[in-house]
Structure 1
Amino acid sequence: MGLVSVARIHVRVEGIVQGVGFRPFVHALATEYDLAGFVGNDTGGVFVEVEGNGIDLAAFVTDLSRRAPALAQVERLTTEVVAPTGQPGFVIVSSVTGAGRDVLISPDTATCPDCLAELSDPADRRHGYPFTNCTNCGPRFTIVTDVPYDRRTTTMAEFPPCADCAAEYADPRDRRFHAEPVCCPACGPALRLVTADGDPVHGDPVDAAVRWLRDGRILAVKGLGGYHLATRADDDRAVSALRARKHREEKPFAVLAADLPAAHALVEVAPAAVPVLTGARRPVVLLPRRPDAPVAASVAPDNRDLGVMLPYTPLHHLLVGRLGMPIVLTSGNASDEPIAHRDDDARARLAGIADGFLTHDRRIHVRTDDSVVRLFRGRELPVRRSRGYVPAPVPVPWRFDRPVLACGAELKNTFCLAKGRRAFVSHHIGDLENYETLCAFTDGIEHFGRIFDVRPEVVAHDLHPEYLSTKYALQRGDVELVGVQHHHAHIASCLADNGEPGPVIGVAFDGLGFGEDGTLWGGELLVADLIGFDRVGHVAAVPMPGGSAAVREPWRMAAAYLDEIYGDALPDLEVLRRHERQWPAVVALARSGTNSPRTSSVGRLFDAVSAILGLRDRVSYEGQAAIALEQRAQPDERGGYRIDPSGPVPLAGVGRQLVRCVVEDLRAGVDRGRIAARFHHGLADAVVRAAVAVRESTGLTSVALSGGVFQNVLLLDRVVCGLEAEALRVLVHTRVPPNDGGISLGQAVVAAARHRADPSG
């Protein structure tokens, strides 16, 4: 029998391979195959050297990807033959720092079943401990201060492990082998409950907090990415008090349910929703509310849907488990402010809202809101991409030849840093309308740039000169600036979301975006690729009387549309009677053009129809009137307004024709819910027929749908069904939101594509 040849290989593994138990996995795998060598972290990912017979080495390399830990994402694996050393044993070596960084950081991950079992086991030393975690779960992104991912580069560096935790960390057979946030009651963060004045509340903090919640009080609860405000979801008095103190008049609150059966008692959970609710990311999922759901009407007023999530930290499990009922869990801030994440800031900003603080001494390094998704055809339709998803990159099939920073939009802002084939779309920053949010924006760019080693050579921005994100871009020196039209960025984000270069027929429907002709766009039909676009159609522009006032008061958009259609021969309508005193002045303002920018926005069209139907004359949050119109639509209505979307400019007459149909049905006494449904169906039909017309003239057979209006799943479903019936291929969003939260990704890929097409600039 011949001798078995011995070989040694160096393996590099790139992707999300730090903070997910990858080194312990490699150690166990090498031991299984009886291989010698070592594994470690560096600023590029994980490096491995293994020595043994060739058959075992080949199997080992295959299993590195095939059997990787659940939270790992292996993007690239390379091998190189090196000289054998003959040194026995396999070890985990110290992390290596270097000049270049290409490592990925795992998102924060929901508590795993093993840790939950320990949490509820009276015999376990972590019984009831609210910071229990292991290599398979727990905080990651929100505690990371630098790379490579080691305890010393997280906020857990302030908690030296005790002997028992250190033993677990060093034991290759233990689930916490090299789990950086490992801790226990003897050495880890400590929970405490204090009053709004800072006085300690004696006794077990969780039990005391449960008593407070049961009594209908409001608590500020420190979570993974910031503070939440919590109160009983079934107590209308408590929820109303929270609304009043938070200055959040009507926008729905999210609800935390203890487990999947508890969620079933609140909402209709389709099979496709189960893995989203129970998965490691734990977003807020918008689902149809059950009529008998034990929640106060004020949790989500005038809304058929309810935003539900399941616990994603041990503390959340303890709270709702002991309370035995769902709680409201909403961002810890006053209206329009970023979520509070520093303890001193939380005390200052939330003391007038919360009756007490359930807090702890582990620092949050990066504030991160909860993510929000809807479901469309069994897949996630992101509304807000944040905790649980970020900072995992959005891989794209094209290279960013130069590092890019894309600054995003004004509302629902995210930024994007990109290099190689990775686009790092940030967590939800918020609306860039105040100093605090601007600081969160600039701090986030600095942090992402450091941990992902991205030093931008190109900065992409929106064309709107007054956006704070645009002003930030224009103030940066020594970089190339690339302006990207808002709706082109929407379509480009959908292309990048689907890994498609275009060209496509792009339908971009949203609230407002700065157009190239000086008007405000928002109802656009484009022929677009990643480099540029042609505007081949759009909804005819109408005035916005009072400018931004027309966004806050949708009845002004109703006045503008009705005046454009009927002039002085306006029919007798309730919306006119409700605003009889102001109507003539608003119409005169619209006709004069003074402080009345013209807009093609479909979002503003939804506002007008919502006001005409008496659903919303004024709004307290962005998109409220459009949401009310979607919610009011009668599900069993199959009819729709048949209008002509053609003409020299496709879609031009659609807005006026739809409003006229709405008015005629309203005057005929048709139920408002049926009118709302017919409006949706008529708009969808017009989009389909306009896209077919563009196909006939261009030969394009793919359609990309983007913009905040396509968060409306009723409209989205009708448009997609109609396009597919016409044998058109449809691209929708699944990885980044169709709203302005996806704009930064679109800006980044446009800037890169333009450079690839013309490197000289």
Structure 2
Amino acid sequence: MAEHGDRKVHRFAVYGTVQGVGFRPFVHRTAAGLRLDGWVANVDGHVEGTIAGPPGAVNRFTSLLRTDAPALARVRKVLLTPAPGRPPTAGAGFTVRRSDPAHLAHTHREIAPDAAICDACLRELDNPADRRYRYPFINCTQCGPRATIIEDLPYDRLRTTMRRFPMCAACAAEYADPGDRRFHAEPLACHTCGPRLAWRALTGEGALHAAVAAVAAGAIIAVKGLGGYQLVCDANDQRAVSELRRRKHRPSKPFAVMVQDLDSACRVARVSKTARTALRSTARPVVLLPRLDRDIAPGVAPTSDRLGLFLPTTGIHHLLTRELDRPLVVTSGNLAEEPLATDDFEARRVLADTADGFLTHDRPIRARYDDSVVQVSGRTVQTIRRARGLAPAPLTLPVATAIPLVAAGAQLKHTFTLAAHDQAHLGPHTGDLSSAATLQAFESAYADLTRLTGIAPRAVAHDLHPGYLSTQWAQAQCLIQVPVQHHHAHAAACAAEHGVRGPFTAVTFDGLGLGDDGTLWGGEVLVADLAGYRRVARFATAPLPGGEAAVRHPARMALGYLHGCEPLGAPRPFPWLTKAFTERLDPREVDVVRAMVARGLHCPRASSAGRLFDAVASLLGLCDRVSYEGEAAAALETAAGDTHAQPLATRVVRAGGLWVYDPAPTLTDLLERLAEGEEVARLAAAFHLAVAVVTAELVARAVEEGAPRTVCLGGGCFVNRRLLTEVRRRLRAQGLRVLVPSEVPCGDGGISYGQAAVAAARLMKRKG
């Protein structure tokens, strides 16, 4: 350690999410405030530098790096080591040095997500006296694009898509001024030197006004956002909304709506205190909220009692919402089942028949990020889609992985996860891996994130299902293979998020996942830890007539339960009870399905909670065919609402060494009460209560036999707030500790994180 009088010189290094979050300016301000000398720079994926001064001031500096870091930063480790050589002359000052990519160590790096426009930038955007008045790409060290513009690390302008825009003299002065909040803000730009809007031959304000006029006249436009193109129209205009559905091939799945501010949100939805915080967060996710009967066109969410609302994320969005002064449908710029468009040429090709015009700009999109989606359940914010603003910020693994790994995810709502040490980077939402285009989008995102994080996987975790494109991709990699059962991954995702390392009980309810016995699972109670599990309870099996066709046709699923539910000793519904249901169906399809079930022809069996929800939705006349996964269950949840009801009958039996829920009495009770004229809302609520009651009983029986008293809930069925609330309440009443996913999606979007947690535990166990 070099000393000069009472002055000491140290080398410091800070690890975590410390690039692209205003950390170097923060270090500069901190050092200058303590009258310390030295320098700071971005190096590889972290920040390091030299600090010189009295020991007390140096210690205070080190402490402040941990406690007072910028809001967007995540400091994981601060190292302070003696530095050789003489200290700089007292009063020499503190500087921010240019990064030196020649000294890259290719260590594990963290990438900052995009951050929505901050209040300070918003005030400037609205201030006619400010030089960035109405500048659509306004940003500072605390907001703006990050993950979507980074081309390489260390994070400097020349390694982002902003390198195409040399700073003007005014921006360069702000960039170099330690007292300016844009000091070393890499996406810094203004009207003079930055990206510019375009609409046909118009640019700047002319382009914006043309786009506003088009939407006001009922047109559908494509807007180039942070992580991809978005389709925009007037959310109050039923004709425009219906036309967007037709062009996008999206018959009924709800659209997201962007509103100008919180007051606007409160006019169209019920916004709790927790929801307000979520709406205003730097991630600016779409928040699912109870809708009010106001001016929003019915076609925005035709089968739901909720609206997906979000606030403007960029200057472009603020200008659009303020100029139009109305809620706007803002949905992914793609066709159904295709990846989000990011390239300008590709967007014009793909969306040529969808958009009436394109509001674009000349800054390239480096990485594809769709909008994040969350919902509020009490005081809990549940992430449904982890994307823009949230990904790829790392999550902690309770057990560090012995070697770097990739988890390939599932098939639906696809994500992948990269893991090294105790950090897991959940990649961007890809969508459903149903085509070569979505697979290519996954492969491109994987290549980008491995390069940026510096993680070179030596193992790959994947689902058991051989038909998943993610599984096929994983098995083609020359890496150590770690197969992970689907529902164990769901359970592990919840446990890992909450830091659970030891044994736990898991309730995993979803549509379908391949079990380790080769059959389809979906209504499971497991006793598990991160490395392994055993099945202790399940739902009864029922046939899926036509396989995948049954998923798309809940009426087929209902017929499967009525005519082929696993025989467990309870009487099946009498034929006269099913007459009203079958009479509304195509008699030819009914006969075909009955024959298929009787012969066991193309009727794989599944113990699925999700498919039981589909069947009940169809029996109640809510949904016989679906256009997107989960539509029938969502219709059933909407019908139930907060309606008070008595639970339907339930029955649990012992079969094959497991506790099994037999739904036959539940369905019989449902049909009898329906025939007696009980309203559909009460029956939908009664079914939710029955599933909650039987879940509590299955868990209670498992606990009586020694299962752990910590219970992790997982699987897409727990997106259903009524089910989640009722299950959690009953389990807590038994004195159990109940954990619910929050940062990680409980559906298949969180599978890859669970796979990574399982693989890490197994690899560490193998190493030990």
Distance, in Å, in 1 between the alignment partners of 2:147 and 2:249 is 30
Q: Per-residue deviation at 1:101? A: 2.8
Structure 1 residues 395-418: Cα deviation after superposition (integer angstroms, max 9, x where no partner)? 123211100111000000000110
Question: What is the deviation of 1:638?
Answer: 3.9
Q: Distance in 2 between matches of 1:640 and 1:502?
A: 34
Residues 203 and 454 from structure 1, CA distance in 2 versus in 1: closer, same or farther, beyond 3 angstroms?
closer
Give % identity. 46
One-letter amino acid of the counterpart of residue 497, structure 1: E
| Alignment-derived partner of residue 351 in structure 2 | 350
* TM-fit CA distance, 1:237: 0.4
- The match for 1:557 is 557
Counterpart of 1:91 in structure 2 is 95
Q: Which amino acid aligns with 2:705?
A: S
Aligned residue in 2 for 1:55: 56
Distance 1:176 1:634 in 2: 48
Instruction: Please report the TM-score for the alignment, with normalisation by the length of structure 1.
Output: 0.97
Give the drift of 1:568.
Answer: 8.0
Cα distance between partner residues in 1 of 2:575 and 2:235: 49
CA distance in structure 2 between the aligned counterparts of 1:287 and 1:572, rounded to whole angstroms: 36
1:570 and 1:441 map into 2 onto residues whose CA distance is 50
Q: Which residue of 2 aligns with 1:215?
A: 217
1:703 aligned onto 2:687: no
Runs (4+) of structure 1 moved beyond 3 Å?
199-203, 564-570, 648-651
Which residue in 1 is equivalent to 2:567? none
Q: 2:196 aligns with which of 178, 181, 190?
A: 190
How many equivalent pairs are there?
Answer: 752
Verify the 8 A CA contact 1:132 1:183 in the aligned structure 2.
Answer: yes
- CA offsets, 1:132-170, max 9 Å, x none? 111010000001111111111111111111111111111
Tell me by how many angstroms 1:61 deviates. Answer: 1.2
* Offset at residue 563 of structure 1 (A): 1.2
Q: Equivalent residues in 2 for 1:123-142 (5 A)?
A: 123-142=129-148
**In structure 2, C-alpha distance between the alignment counterparts of 1:591 and 1:200, rounded to whole Å:** 66
* Matches of 1:444 and 1:106, distance apart in 2: 15
Question: 2:761 maps to what in 1?
Answer: 753
Deviation at 1:559, TM superposition (A): 0.5
Whether the 8 Å contact between 1:495 and 1:502 is mirrored in structure 2 is no
Distance of 1:326 and 1:738 partners within structure 2: 29
Q: Where does residue 730 of structure 1 map in the other structure? A: 738
Task: Give 1:372-521 correspondences, 5 Å limit.
Answer: 372-477=373-478, 479-521=479-521
1:142 maps to a residue whose letter is T
CA distance in 2, matches of 1:232, 1:362: 26
- Give the secondary structure class of the aligned counterpart of 1:34: coil
- For structure 2, list consecutive stretches of 5 or more residues without a partner in the other structure: 565-570
| Contact 2:572–2:664 (CA under 8 A) maintained in structure 1 | no
Task: Return the alpha-carbon distance in structure 2 between the equivalents of residues 657 and 285 of structure 1.
Answer: 37
Aligned-CA RMSD value: 1.5
CA contact (8 A) 2:197 2:204 kept: no
Shift of 1:221: 0.4
Give the distance between the partners of 2:663 and 2:42, measured in 1 at CA: 57
Amino acid at match of 1:416: T
Does residue 718 of the first structure (1) align with residue 744 of the second (2)?
A: no
Superposed, which structure 2 residues align to 1:656-671 within 5 Å?
656-671=664-679
Contact 2:573–2:664 (8 Å) recurs in 1: no
Q: Is the 8 A contact 1:651 1:686 kept in 2?
A: no
Question: What letter corresponds to residue 62 of structure 1 in structure 2?
Answer: S
Aligned amino acid, residue 467 of structure 1? Y
With 717-726 and 583-592 compared, the bigger mean Cα shift is at 583-592
Determine the C-alpha separation between the residues in 2 that align with 1:328 and 1:414: 25
- Three-state SS of the structure 1 residue aligned to 2:326 is coil
- Residue 544 (structure 2) aligns with: 544
Give the match for residue 361 of structure 1.
Answer: 362
Structure 1 CA distance for aligned equivalents of residues 257 and 429 of structure 2: 19
2:275 is aligned to: 273
Q: Does 1:107 align with 2:113?
A: yes
TM-superposition CA deviations, 1:168-200 (whole Å, max 9, x none): 111111111000010111111110113xxxx65
Give the alignment of 1:673-688 within 5 angstroms. Answer: 673-688=681-696
Superposed CA offset, 1:533-569 (max 9, x none): 1111111111100111101110001101111363884
Q: Tell me the secondary structure at the aligned position of residue 764 of structure 2.
A: helix
Change (3 A) 1:234 1:567: closer
Mapped to 2, the partners of 1:282 and 1:508 lie a distance apart of 29
Larger deviation, residues 525-534 vs 281-290: 525-534
Deviations 1:436-491 (A, max 9, x none): 100111111111110111111111111101111011011112x1111111111111
State the AA in 1 paired with 2:435.
Answer: N
2:232 to 221, 230, 233: 230
8 Å CA contact 2:38, 2:88 repeated in 1: no
C-alpha deviation, 1:79, in angstroms:
1.1
2:338 & 2:391 partners in 1: Cα distance?
Answer: 20
- Match of residue 152, structure 2, among 141, 146, 152: 146
In structure 2, what is the Cα distance between the partners aligned to 1:275 and 1:202? 33
Is 1:614–2:621 an aligned residue pair? yes
Q: Is 1:156 aligned to residue 157 of structure 2?
A: no
1:9 maps to 2:15 = no
Q: Secondary structure at the match of 2:588?
A: coil
Q: Assess if the C-alpha contact under 8 Å between 1:226 and 1:340 holds in 2.
A: yes
Q: Could you tell me how far apart the structure 2 residues matched to 1:102 and 1:758 are?
A: 23
Matched with 1:584 is 591
Q: Output the CA distance in 2 between the equivalents of 1:452 and 1:582.
A: 52
Shift of 1:646: 4.1
Residue 29 of structure 1 corresponds to which residue in structure 2? Answer: 30
8 Å CA contact retained: 2:197, 2:203: no
Q: Does the CA contact (< 8 Å) of 2:504 and 2:707 recur in 1?
A: no
- 1:582 and 1:421 mapped to 2: Cα distance? 53
Q: 1:203 to 1:757 in 2, by over 3 A?
A: closer
Q: Partner residue of 1:73?
A: 74
Q: 2:288 aligns with which of 277, 283, 286?
A: 286
Change (3 A) 1:175 1:671: same
With over 3 angstroms needed to count, the CA separation of the structure-2 counterparts of 1:9 and 1:121, relative to structure 1, is: same
Q: Is the 8 A contact 1:642 1:685 kept in 2?
A: no
Q: Which amino acid aligns with 1:621?
A: Y
Cα separation, 2, equivalents of 1:396 and 1:638: 41
Give SS of 1:449's match. helix
SS of 1:225's partner is coil
More displaced 10-residue stretch of structure 1: 10-19 or 282-291: 10-19
* Range that drifts further, 178-187 or 587-596: 587-596
Question: Match of 2:644, as an amino acid?
Answer: E
Q: Which moved more, 1:593-602 or 1:219-228?
A: 593-602
Find the aligned partners of 2:129 and 2:411 in 1 and give their Cα distance: 52
Seen in structure 2, the aligned counterparts of structure 1 residues 176 and 634 have a Cα distance that, compared at 3 Å, is: closer
**Structure 2 equivalent of residue 625 of structure 1:** 632
SS of 2:82 mapped into structure 1: strand
Deviates more, 1:675-684 or 1:72-81: 72-81
**Alignment partners' CA distance in 2, 1:595 and 1:275:** 49
The residue aligned with 1:744 is 752
Change (3 A) 1:110 1:202: closer
Shift of 1:502: 3.2
Whichever residue aligns with residue 553 of structure 1, its letter is H
- For residues 325 and 754 of structure 1, what CA distance do their matches in structure 2 show? 53
Q: What corresponds to 2:611 in structure 1?
A: 604
Please give the per-residue CA displacement for 1:654-702, whole angstroms capped at 9, x wherever unaligned. 3223222211211111111000001000100110111011111015111
Q: CA deviation at 1:606?
A: 0.3
In the alignment, the residues of structure 2 paired with residue 85 and residue 200 of structure 1 have an alpha-carbon distance, to the nearest angstrom, of 57
AA paired with 1:559? L
Q: CA deviation at 1:244?
A: 0.4
